[in-house]
Amino acid sequence: MRASLPPRGELPPHGTIDIWVVPLSSSTEESAELDNVLSSDERRRGTHFRFVRDAARFRQCRAALRIGLSRYLDQPASELVFTTGVFGKPRLAGESRLRFNLAHSEDLAVMAFTTIGEVGIDLEAVTQTEIPIESIATAFFTPEEAALVRQQRTMDAQARTFFRLWTRKEAVLKAAGYGLSSPLDSIDVTSGNLTSVRTGLDADIDSRWRVEDIELGLDFIGAVAGPAHDWQIRQWPRSNQMVWKETLWGKNPMTTEEQPCQGCCHSW
C-alpha cells in the first residue's frame, strides 16, 4: 500500500484503477469541518439520518470523494458538479474521462478512480454475522453461489464466503450501471474473475466485466470491477488525516507530501 496520495492534477495512469481506503469516524466535529466542500444537497442529505454517527460518516464519505476527485482534476472540491445515470449512478458533469465509484461500511470507505471506463466498488464489514446468511444466499444468489456458501464448514467461513460473493456481485453491477436495480442472480461470480451481467432484456446489451478482490484486512471484504481487459490496481493508504488535509486546496498551495502528517497513521 502506498504511503502518499497520487500526484495532484494527474489522472490515474492508463490501465490502472486507483483505490483509496479512508477510515471514517462518528465525530460530528470532524465531519462539520468538511462541510465547506459539500454541496447544499449533500449537507441536507446528511441531516436525514436517524443516528448522529451515520450522518457524520455520510458527510465524511462524500467529502472524501470530492477531495479525491479534486486532487486528480486539480480543481476545488466544492466546485465539482455531479450528474447521474438512469439507475442513479453518479458521474462528473461535463467531458472528463475520470470515472469513479464509492462504497462504505461501518467506519471504512473505499473509492475507485480510473480512466479505463466504468468502474464499480463494494465493501462489507464481516461483523454482521447475525444475518441469515444461508437463506439470503438461497433466495438471491445463483444456485452455484448458494451451494458454495452452504459447503463452508464453519460460520466464519460461511460469512466470509457470503460477503466475498456479495461484494463481487455488487461491484460488477455497479460498474455496469445497474446497481441493485438488477437482480443479484443475474450474475455468477464463482468461476474466475471474468463474468457477464445478464439483463434478461436483450443479449446484445449483456455486458462483460472483470472483478478483483481487494485486500482490506480481517474485518472487511471488498471487490472492484472494471472492463473485461487487463488493468492493475494501485491502492492508497488508510489515513483519513492525509485525505482531510486536501481540504486546504485553494487556501494553502503546499501538497500533502510537503506537509508532515501529525499523528497519522451502502452507496453508489
Within this chain, do residues 75 and 185 fall inside the same structural domain, yes or no? no
Beta carbons of 159 and 184 less than 8 angstroms apart: no
pLDDT at 263: 30
pLDDT in tens, 170-212: 999 999 887 766 778 888 888 778 887 765 544 445 678 999 9
pLDDT at 264: 29
Within this chain, do residues 130 and 30 fall inside the same structural domain, yes or no? no
Poorest-pLDDT segment among 40-49, 123-132, 252-261: 252-261
Within this chain, do residues 89 and 180 fall inside the same structural domain, yes or no? no
Please report, rounded to a whole number, the percentage of residues in the chain having pLDDT higher than 90.
Answer: 46
Q: Answer yes or no: is 267 within a domain.
A: no
Poorest-pLDDT segment among 45-49, 56-60, 78-82, 151-155: 45-49
Indicate the pLDDT class of residue 45, thresholds 50, 70 and 90: confident
Within this chain, do residues 142 and 166 fall inside the same structural domain, yes or no? yes
pLDDT at 254: 30
Within this chain, do residues 1 and 106 fall inside the same structural domain, yes or no? yes
* Number of compact structural domains in the chain: 2
CA of residue 127 relative to chain centroid, distance = 18
In whole angstroms, what is the distance from residue 112 CA to residue 233 CA?
Answer: 9
- Confidence check: pLDDT of 255 > 70: no
Poorest-pLDDT segment among 4-13, 159-168, 203-212: 203-212
Closest CA to 173 of 165, 164, 163, 183: 183
Q: Answer yes or no: is 56 within a domain.
A: yes
pLDDT at 245: 64
In whole angstroms, what is the distance from residue 144 CA to residue 81 CA?
Answer: 42
Within this chain, do residues 82 and 182 fall inside the same structural domain, yes or no? no
All cell numbers assigned to 169 = 456481485
Q: What is the CATH number of the domain that holds 30?
A: 3.90.470.20
Angle, helices 143-150 vs 133-140, to 10°: value is: 160
pLDDT at 217: 87
In whole angstroms, what is the distance from residue 200 CA to residue 208 CA?
Answer: 14
The residue with greater pLDDT, 257 or 50, is 50
Within this chain, do residues 143 and 243 fall inside the same structural domain, yes or no? no
Q: Answer yes or no: is 196 within a domain.
A: yes
pLDDT at 148: 94
In whole angstroms, what is the distance from residue 236 CA to residue 257 CA?
Answer: 14
Domain containing 154 equals 126-206
Closest CA to 16 of 6, 8, 27: 6
Within this chain, do residues 42 and 78 fall inside the same structural domain, yes or no? yes
pLDDT at 65: 94
Strand partners, 226: 210
Within this chain, do residues 19 and 52 fall inside the same structural domain, yes or no? yes
pLDDT at 43: 85
Within this chain, do residues 3 and 104 fall inside the same structural domain, yes or no? yes
Within this chain, do residues 98 and 168 fall inside the same structural domain, yes or no? no
DSSP 12: P
pLDDT at 248: 43
All cell numbers assigned to 156 = 466464519
Within this chain, do residues 51 and 135 fall inside the same structural domain, yes or no? no
